[in-house]
Chain A
Amino acid sequence: MKKEDTVKLISAEGFEFVIDKEAAMVSQTIRNMLTSPGSFAEREHGEVTFPEISTTILEKICQYFYWSLQYASLHWHETNLIMIKESRFTYSSSLALASKSRGKETDFHIEPELTLELMMAANYLHT
């Protein structure tokens, strides 16, 4: 993983999460910070500090970013699988794959005790 493809998100407690830039860009707020012109330190160093987001919540948010990317790609896969089905190519195995990809990993689990705090952070991050 090249350094320029990653960003560092820092929680209130100083905990650092290094994640793919692509994942972080799921958040409209982070995307703006990293891409908009101007003298954003964030843009220079690929580093964003969130003094009001706790480590637990920031971790959850990072999980969501990846879930969101995976969600998009799963749907892309499903479209492709349908195409494969139509060309009568490995019909049964693609069907199995499709049903697997629809399984429980497509649900994003949220612990009830985190929900309110997570929602406030999501609101801030525009995600």
Chain B
Amino acid sequence: MGGACSRKRGQVDNEDGLHGGVSGRYHKSCSSKWLMTSFSRPPLDIQRGEGKCPSLMELCAHKICEDIDKYSTFSMLPRDISQQIFNELVYSQRLTEISLQAFRDCALQDLYLGEYPEVNDKWMDVIASQGSSLLCVDLSGSDVTDSGLIHLKDCTNLQSLNFNYCDRISDHGLEQISGLSNLTSLSFRRNDAITACGMSAFAGLVNLVKLDLERCTRIQGGLVHLQGLTKLESLNIKWCNCITDYDMKPLSGLTNLKSLQISCSKVTDIGITYLRGLQKLTLLNLEGCPVTAACLESLSVLGALLYLNLNRCQLSDDGCEKFSKLGSLKVLNLGFNDITDACLVHLKGLTNLESLNLDSCGIGDAGLVNLTGLCHLKCLELSDTQVESSGLRHLSGLVNLESVNLSFTGVSDGGLRRLAGLSSLKSLNLDVRQITDAGLAALTSLTGLTHLDLFGARITDSGTAYLRNFKNLRSLEICGGGLTDAGVKHIKDLSSLSLLNLSQNCNLSDKTLELISGLTGLVSLNVSNSRITSAGLRHLKPLKNLRSLTLESCKVTANDIKRLQSIDLPNLVSFRPE
């Protein structure tokens, strides 16, 4: 067993991460000093536990939040102090519609209330009372409606507004903010009510640098109102499947655009021709668009292009010779296209490439010879290709490789010694049924590995002895069915592990849980389909960082885990059975 349990990871659209930005809950475009000191710091008590002395400012803010009902106004305080109290209240989730009243006329600059519970139109009055001081407002996920936006009209210095997932805002709401010409960043993700008509409000926002309309499904025809927004550098209209070639035309004059995301739209090669003048474009995401290699003709004139995502498009080898003109590219995603080794020939000269995704393409060993000169490659995705062991010799010289995915390929033990010299390698996916202990033995020199996926590989107890070389492993998956408790002995000392998946090894018993009870860094643990029983759960008590625990098809009930959660593992948020 085991092979049938192999699984393919979902494709994640990760353009947001390309710039190295944090996609955290409160990620904002405008920076603010307190963002570093408030949201990103752990709560006060945790901080105490870690031994860092809280400042008197923090202690006071904390104290005020505890007694917040006693304060009727903070308007006499200097702004940075009331801002810190506000942030602490939001952070500790103590801010309510009532306590918000104390912040009327406090001249606050930043109100980051994204995903904060129960925010609605009744909050808008106090929010707007900050007047011309107000710079950034995030009300994502709130129940604010069009009439709530009326209040913002007079906050004319606003630079950044986020209303993602606010499904009660429509064209009328946009009208209210049409005069806020100091706005540089505006975001209305996932809104089905905004249409071309309402987007005419954007025409006056001449300082807009960043506009995000991801998943707005009815905006077709509306981009014409962006024509005069010549400062625009970033436009995200991912997952707006109403967007067609016709919508590309108004973008042709936005020559300051650096980032354009139109994935999963109806844009074809014809639409792409309108982008030829965007000489500053560094990022273009066309994932899932019905474009062919013919669009490369237009893209080849974009000299600044660094990131190109053509995942799940309609490329074939025909026309791929134009790739050779995209010499500046650093990141190229060609996954799930009908291309073969014949296409790879034209990638030979893309020597700046750092990341290449060929997932599920029709490529094989012979094609990989064209990658030998791509010496800057850090990340190579070859999952679900026809690559076999003999192709790996072409990777031996790519010494900068940090991440290689060979899952569902034809590679076997014999080829793996070709990877042994890739000393920069941190992540290796060998979810391949043919791989056995012998293959692992060939990799012991890869001591920098932090992620090793051997999900479907046939690793046995004797093979786990080689894992001792991978002291830095943070995630490990061995689910081929061949492990017993004896093998887990070699895993118990991998103290950096935060994710461990040993599911499908049906001989593992409670002894396994006892063995790994010292891996206190574990955040996620899966030992499904094993002989674990509820009696073994007690060994998990020291794993205080555990957030996810999966013990499907074991002799463990949801109640057993809930008991463990309530007494010993307060951080556990996801568990199965549930």
Contacts and interface: CB of A to CB of B under 8 A. Distances in A.
- Whether both chains belong to one complex is answered with yes
Interface of A: 61, 64, 68, 71-72, 75, 78, 106, 108, 110, 112, 115-116, 118-120, 122-123, 125, 127
B67 A123 contact: no
Given A110-B60, A110-B63, A68 B77 contact: no
Contacts of B48: 106
A122 B57 CA distance: 6
24 contacts: A61-B56, A64-B59, A68-B53, A72-B53, A75-B51, A78-B51, A106-B48, A108-B59, A112-B63, A112-B70, A115-B67, A116-B60, A116-B71, A116-B77, A119-B60, A119-B61, A120-B78, A122-B56, A122-B57, A123-B57, A123-B80, A123-B81, A125-B56, A127-B57
Interface string B51-74: 101011101110110010011000
Contacts of A119: 56-57, 60-61, 64, 77, 81, 85
Contacts of B64: 115-116, 119
B88 to A, nearest CB: 11
Contacts of B81: 119-120, 123
**Interface bracket on B:** 10 to 19
- Classify the secondary structure of A's interface with B: helix
A71 B55 CA distance: 11
Contacts of B55: 122, 127
A116 B68 CA distance: 12
Given A110-B63, A116-B71, A119-B57, 19 more contacts: A64-B56, A64-B59, A72-B53, A110-B59, A112-B63, A112-B70, A115-B63, A116-B60, A116-B64, A116-B77, A119-B56, A119-B60, A119-B61, A119-B77, A120-B77, A122-B60, A127-B55, A127-B56, A127-B57
B249 to A, nearest CB: 54
Contacts of A61: 56
Interface string B268-299: 00000000000000000000000000000000
Contacts of A123: 57, 78, 80-81
Nearest to B60: A119
Give the residue among B59, B61, B67 with the most A Cβ atoms within 10 A.
B59
B53 A71 contact: yes
B42 to A, nearest CB: 16
A29 B88 CA distance: 23
A108 B71 CA distance: 21
